[in-house]
Structure 1
């Protein structure tokens, strides 16, 4: 799918790439919690994080927001697993009935991690999956 970026998203991605030397392909804003999520090109997440998280901390300081990073993937299954990280996702199955739903098998101990505080992680995963793979929902199995 082709994702259209707002001017604000393009400006934030440019700053992110300038600080991290990693490539971001999308960014989502969560203004209610003053957070921003960058979708980072596959294989570049380590560069974006930096040693001991120092690089992503620089981005947070420059933006004045908490930053979340998600690594891009070629398949919808890998994408959903990456979006729920650091939760241990064992398997993702895509079901296409009336709606397209991704069922993610998550370790019982990591369900809270996959959901995130106030449901933020899974909601971000849902928004990204919809934008990039036209997945209508993500459910934890």
Structure 2
């Protein structure tokens, strides 16, 4: 999945960085949502005290925001990408990552209709960790 940075997306990144002083690594549009991948420790800056900064940004941009904190550990990055859903356990073998959802409802939300949520998360993870061939939720 490649993301084309048009002027609107660049302006959005600029607004977020100016308001929060966070470093945005990537902004990925998806339907009515914007997904920001930010540097380590910068997720807190975007969320702000009691979520106030995040709410302000969502109102200003007119879209819901999802924040993924970038880390060097592949499995932790996948956990971050799945938030706020709870990952009970996670492991990897030969490029296939196995994610255990906390319960049946959580697993359903991780996967989504026709596996769209899972495949989208997989594509984001592959931008940073190309050796991940597949993510499976059990």
Name the TM-score, length of structure 1 as normaliser. 0.79
Give the equivalent residue in structure 1 for 2:134: 137
CA shift in 2, pair 1:140/1:43, >3 Å? same
Hey, what's the Cα distance between the residues in 2 that align with 1:67 and 1:48? 10
Query: 5+ residue gaps in structure 1?
Result: none
Equivalent-residue separation in structure 2 for 1:70 and 1:19 (angstroms): 18
Go from structure 1 to structure 2 and tell me whether the alpha carbon gap of 1:51 and 1:113 turns closer, same or farther (over 3 Å shift): farther
The alpha-carbon deviation at position 86 of structure 1 amounts to 1.7
Tell me, yes or no, if the aligned pair for 2:100 and 2:107 is still in contact at 8 Å.
no
Q: Matched residues in 1 for 2:117 and 2:103: separation?
A: 16
- Match of 1:12? 12
Aligned to 1:45: 43
Change (3 A) 1:78 1:57: same
How far apart, in 1, do the equivalents of 2:20 and 2:115 lie? Answer: 28
Where in structure 2 are there 5+ consecutive unaligned residues?
Answer: none
Cα gap change, 1:85/1:118 in structure 2, threshold over 3 Å: closer, same or farther?
farther
Please give the root-mean-square deviation of Cα atoms over the aligned residues, in Å.
Answer: 2.5
Give the whole-Å Cα distance in 2 for the aligned partners of 1:115 and 1:126.
11
Given the two structures, how large is their TM-score scaled by the length of structure 2?
A: 0.80
Structure 2 CA distance for partners of 1:16 and 1:124, relative to 1, 3 Å: farther
TM-superposed CA distance for 1:61, in Å, is 1.9
Give distance in 2, aligned partners of 1:129 and 1:41.
15
Q: Alpha carbons of 1:118 and 1:40: their partners in 2 closer, same or farther (altered >3 Å)?
A: farther
Q: Does the residue aligned with 1:46 lie in a helix, a strand or coil?
A: helix
Cα offsets for 1:66-123 (capped at 9, x unmatched):
1111111111111111111122213322232xxx321112212532443468866434
8 Å CA contact retained: 2:3, 2:28: no
Size of the aligned set, in residue pairs, is: 134
